[in-house]
């Protein structure tokens, strides 16, 4: 979700520089089920341009129509959309539409927070009454600072209102160790998920970051510098060097780091050879670290091409970080999102 907020804020910044007014739309409550849950957000400017989405595309036109009064009056409003009657869904969604303006101070604080990989929180206050609501709005909590999304809203107006609070972790990042052709496909696919992608290549690698569409950077650290990389709990690491020796050296460098996911491509036989070499180099390596390694990386979907393998790997990463066992949704009991 953090990458969606990043996209919305940067788009808002561009619109403001062009002199466009904008409104911020937040799904704050839901009765029943819907395409997406409360917490999804989008923006619309007074020229009718949109960024983000709160549904599969069926609700946005109604939001654009309802937003016109907010552009005229500058007063937020709560609207509802009954999907049971219009699109065959099973729920009613409630959305707050509020004027939005991002100050330079807010934008600088947000960019600094992203670079420092710090979490933040957004609180949207509202009354579950359809129509204009001058006391509703969103507060953005950064470490040590609070900013209103709507400059006319302040924390004093939050009393005795419902609050939808949402916590945002640092941007999820993927480190791909290796610069071969299959890394290109994994980089592109991860970028579509909004992840920050870093390619880790050998110092003698002739390729640049331009070779990897979707990658944010390409770095060539020495093996003894790997341990200084910021590989936190919002990080996945995939080894795809196609080299036994490099995989072993990278694993030795990573042995004291516990990312959210650590995967290694190749067959089971190759994995066993790499792990055997690893333990020969470091007999004291912890069993807990070895248990972290997903090898072969990916889930069994019959993937064959590089792009299909990328889907398989990303699906496994998502299942690990969301603590889900991959099954067909038709076999799942209860809510899809549960």
Q: How are strands ordered across the β-sheet holding 293-294?
A: 217-219, 196-200, 173-177, 235-239, 261-264, 293-294
pLDDT score for 89: 56
Band (pLDDT 50/70/90 cuts) for residue 332 is confident
Q: Where in the chain is the domain with CATH 3.40.50.720?
A: 173-321
Burial grade of 1 (CB within 10 A; 0-12, 13-18, 19 or more): middle
Of 83 and 188, the one with more pLDDT: 188
Q: Would the pLDDT of 98 be above 70?
A: yes
| 154: its two tokens | 């302040």
Range 75-99 average pLDDT: 80
pLDDT in tens, 169-198: 999 999 999 999 999 999 999 999 999 999
pLDDT in tens, 226-270: 988 999 999 999 999 999 999 999 999 999 988 999 999 999 999
pLDDT score for 294: 96
Bridge partners (DSSP) listed for residue 124: 138, 164
- Look at the pTM and tell me if it is higher than 0.85: yes
pLDDT in tens, 137-147: 999 999 999 99
Rounded Cα gap, residues 1 and 218, in angstroms: 25
Rounded Cα gap, residues 261 and 315, in angstroms: 12
pLDDT score for 88: 53
The torsion angle over the Cα atoms of residues 14, 16, 21 and 22, rounded to 10 degrees, is 50
Rounded Cα gap, residues 96 and 76, in angstroms: 7
pLDDT in tens, 2-39: 999 999 999 999 999 999 999 999 999 888 665 567 88
Q: Would the pLDDT of 338 be above 60?
A: no
Is domain 173-321 given the CATH code 3.40.50.720 in the classification? yes
User: Mean pLDDT score of the chain, rounded to an integer?
Assistant: 90
Q: Which candidate, 122, 139, 131, 135, places its Cα nearest to that of 161?
A: 135
Of 160 and 256, the one with more pLDDT: 256
């Amino acid at each position: 979700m953090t990458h969606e907020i990043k996209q919305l804020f940067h788009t808002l910044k561009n619109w403001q520089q062009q002199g466009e007014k904008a409104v911020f739309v937040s799904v704050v409550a839901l009765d029943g089920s819907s395409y997406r849950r409360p917490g999804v957000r989008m923006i619309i400017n007074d020229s009718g341009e949109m960024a983000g989405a709160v549904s599969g595309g069926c609700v946005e036109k109604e939001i654009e129509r309802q937003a016109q009064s907010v552009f005229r009056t500058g007063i937020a409003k709560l609207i509802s959309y009954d999907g049971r009657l219009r699109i065959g869904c099973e729920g009613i969604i409630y959305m707050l539409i509020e004027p939005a303006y991002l100050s330079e101070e807010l934008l600088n604080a947000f960019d600094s927070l992203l670079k420092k990989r710090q979490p933040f929180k957004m609180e949207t206050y509202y009354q579950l009454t359809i129509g204009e609501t001058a006391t509703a709005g969103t507060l953005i909590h950064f470490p040590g600072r609070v900013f209103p999304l709507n400059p006319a809203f302040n924390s004093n107006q939050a009393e005795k209102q419902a609050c939808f609070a949402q916590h945002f972790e640092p941007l999820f990042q993927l480190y791909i160790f290796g610069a071969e052709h299959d890394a290109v496909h994994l980089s592109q696919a991860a970028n579509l998920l909004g992840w920050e992608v870093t390619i880790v290549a050998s110092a003698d690698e002739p390729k640049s970051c331009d070779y990897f569409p979707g990658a944010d950077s390409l770095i060539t650290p020495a093996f003894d510098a790997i341990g200084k990389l910021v590989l936190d709990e919002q990080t996945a690491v995939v080894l795809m060097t196609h080299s036994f020796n490099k995989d072993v050296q990278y694993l030795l460098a990573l042995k004291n780091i516990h990312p959210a996911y650590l995967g290694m491509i190749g067959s089971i036989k190759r994995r066993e050879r790499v792990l055997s070499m690893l333990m020969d180099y470091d007999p004291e390596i912890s069993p807990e670290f070895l248990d972290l390694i997903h090898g072969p990386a990916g889930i069994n979907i019959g993937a064959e091409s590089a792009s299909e393998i990328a889907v398989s790997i990303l699906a496994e990463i998502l299942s690990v970080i969301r603590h889900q066992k991959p099954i067909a949704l038709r076999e799942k009991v209860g809510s899809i999102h549960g």
